[in-house]
Amino acid sequence: MPFTAIDNILTGRFTGKKVNIRGWIYRKRESKDTIFLVIRDASGVIQCTVKRNSKAWKDAEKVTIESSVMLQGTVKEDKRAPSGYEITTDKLEIIGLSEVFPIAKDKSEEFLRDVRHLWLRSRKMNTIMKIRAEVLEFIHEYFKKQGFFEVSPPMFISSAVEGGSTLFGLKYFDESMYLTQSAQLHLEVLIYSLEKVFCVAPSFRAEKSRTIRHLTEFWHVESEEAFSTLDDLMRLEERLVSYVYQNTAKKCRKELEALGLDPKELLKVKAPFPKITYNEAIEKLHKKGFNIQWGEDFGFNEERTLTEDSAGPLFVYAYPKKIKAFYVKAYPDKPELVMSADLIVPRIGELTTGGARVDDKNELIQNLKAFDLRPEDYEWYIDLRKYGTVPHTGFGMGVERLLAWMLNLESVMDTIPFPRTTRRSYP
């Protein structure tokens, strides 16, 4: 007899029928004549009862929390059972008897991160990982529908993208290399062949900040598009974020509810998003009592305050040149401002950074020097401006920040199976 997934049984289609399931013991409770076993598999949990007079009784007595088992029995509807259905057990087979499982109720977040390899079995992590998988799928779907090609950039790189202070260096045979901070520069190469490209890949930051939104290894969604403007870019980004929100609300209803979220709330995140300039943002902050100077970058508090009123995402664009990277293009009529946009979201702050790229060779070389970078290290990148340069834009978005915002989670650490931070590289 084949095995049935537990969520399949919970549809009611198997009521009155015999089923085989396999999974792990999630809960166990014993009364005089009955042992209640709650079994979990990837898809869900179901309660199974074992009667004292059945053949399964001996093993049911012996079985421990987190033991792996196979179980056969008859499905019945039972309003009192936690998921509305119950299996009356005929046969129970222990596959792997578990030692005393270290995770019990009321363990600290810190402890749960130490035993992450075991905590990933929890209903909470199971649900988050399912939504994460769907979200990644929606991101791919969206870009493909817009005619973007998925490409695979390198992780070993020879020159910095986002400034030296967050670079992870490593020995690469006899050379020094780095782990990539962003695929952007390599994606820019590929637009001269494919025009519209995207990737979803890890980026690495030797980020000393210990905040709810920083990891040293995160998954980075990045795109580049030839012949596009900053307006095109903001439209692409807001539609991508809406697409993910709308589809997650529809397809992950059960999972969202399991996390205590209302799918209807997600439906409210819909393009277009409000857009204000950096100058307008500064004005707004001054009105709210911040004494930030023009030319300073926003910190976490400023970003939070900016999204306070709209309670939704917000673009800030046209930043001072000196707080953005060497590759961002200046406004021709206002050279102190660059065509860069950050998408800022409630609670988390910056979700994306993107912008128009310098497409003129001389402007690029000038910028590199102004940023204390050596043009020799960026020869191939400069080449792109020599041979048929085009105006183009692109952006990057952290998958973990998107999920932490969407699922109202305390930290980006809750959204990735094995978070890497300054203090954590185990398991």
Residues forming contacts to Mg ion in the complex (CB under 5 A) are 353
Binding part of the chain for ligand 4AD, among 108-116, 211-219, 294-302, 374-382 by CB under 6 A, reads: 211-219
Task: Please report how close the Cβ of residue 160 comes to ligand 4AD at its closest, in angstroms.
Answer: 11
222 binds ligand 4AD (CB under 6 A): yes
Three-state DSSP state, 206: coil
Based on the shown chain and the rule CB under 6 A, indicate whether residue 161 belongs to the binding site for ligand 4AD: yes
- For residue 194, the minimal CB distance to Mg ion (Å) is 25
Choose the one of Mg ion, ligand 4AD, none that binds residue 66, judging by a C-beta under 5 to 8 angstroms depending on kind.
none
Q: Which does 214 bind (CB under 5 to 8 A by kind): ligand 4AD, Mg ion, none?
A: ligand 4AD
At its nearest, how many Å lie between ligand 4AD and the CB of residue 135? 14
Find the binder of ligand 4AD among 132, 205, 321, 385 (CB under 6 A). Answer: 205
What contacts 214, CB < 8 A, 6 or more positions away? Answer: 205, 207, 412, 421
Q: Which does 354 bind (CB under 5 to 8 A by kind): ligand 4AD, Mg ion, none?
A: ligand 4AD
Rounded to a whole number of angstroms, the minimum distance from the CB of residue 274 to ligand 4AD is: 18
Sole binder of ligand 4AD in the list 44, 73, 391, 398 (CB under 6 A): 398
CB atoms < 10 A from the CB of 4, how many? 19
Residue 281 Cβ vs Mg ion, minimum distance, rounded to whole Å: 15
Smaller CB separation from ligand 4AD, 66 or 188? 188
Taking a C-beta distance cutoff of 8 angstroms, is the pair 223, 194 a contact?
no
SS3 state at 209: coil
Of 71 and 364, the one with the shorter C-beta distance to ligand 4AD is 364
CB closer to ligand 4AD, 218 vs 319 = 218
Could you give the string, one character per residue 365-394, with x where binding to ligand 4AD holds by CB under 6 A and - elsewhere?
Answer: -----------------------------x
DSSP string, 226-289: ET--HHHHHHHHHHHHHHHHHHHHHHTHHHHHHTT--HHHHHT--SPPPEEEHHHHHHHHHHTT
Residue number, 313 or 354, with CB nearest to ligand 4AD: 354
Nearer to ligand 4AD, 23 or 313 (CB): 313
Residue 329 binding result from Mg ion, ligand 4AD, none, given CB thresholds of 5 to 8 Å by partner type? none
Which residue, among 326, 323, 327, has the nearest Cα to 372 in the 3D structure? 326
Which of Mg ion, ligand 4AD, none has residue 7 at its interface (CB below 5 to 8 Å by kind)?
none
Among positions 307, 352, 367, 411, the unique one binding ligand 4AD when judged by CB under 6 A? 352
Instruction: Give the integer Cα–Cα distance in Å for 21 and 353.
Output: 47
Q: How far is the CB of 293 from ligand 4AD (least distance, A)?
A: 21
Buried b (16+ CB within 10 A) or exposed e, 131-156: bbebbbebbeebbeeeebeebebeee
252 or 356, CB closer to ligand 4AD? 356
Nearest Cα neighbor of 70 from 37, 101, 44 is 37
Does the footprint of ligand 4AD cover residue 160 (CB under 6 A)?
A: no
**Distance (Å, rounded) from C-alpha 302 to C-alpha 317?**
15
- Contacts within 8 Å (CB) and 24+ apart, 227-233: 227/195, 227/390, 227/391, 227/392, 228/391, 228/392, 228/393, 229/356, 229/391, 229/393, 230/317, 230/339, 230/341, 230/355, 230/356, 230/393, 232/393, 233/341, 233/354, 233/355, 233/356, 233/393, 233/394, 233/395
The residues in 173-192 that bind ligand 4AD, with binding defined as CB under 6 A, are 181-182, 184
Q: Torsion angle, CA of 374/166/223/195, rounded to 10 degrees?
A: 20
**Stretch 329-348: interaction string toward ligand 4AD, x if CB under 6 A:** --------------------
CB 78 → ligand 4AD: shortest distance, Å?
Answer: 45
Find the residue with minimal CB distance to ligand 4AD.
396
State the virtual CA torsion across 40, 41, 44, 48 in degrees, nearest 10.
-40
Span interacting with ligand 4AD, options 128-136, 172-180, 214-222, 306-314, rule CB under 6 A: 214-222
Q: State yes or no: residue 23 binds ligand 4AD (CB under 6 A).
A: no
**DSSP character string of 379-419:** HHHHHTTTSS---EEEEEEEHHHHHHHHTT-S-GGGGSSS-
Strand (E) or helix (H) holding 351:
strand 349-356
- Can you tell me the distance from the alpha carbon of 200 to that of 98, in angstroms, rounded to the nearest whole number? 37
Binding site for ligand 4AD (CB under 6 A): 161-162, 181-182, 184, 205, 207, 214-215, 218, 220, 222, 350-354, 394-398, 400-401, 412
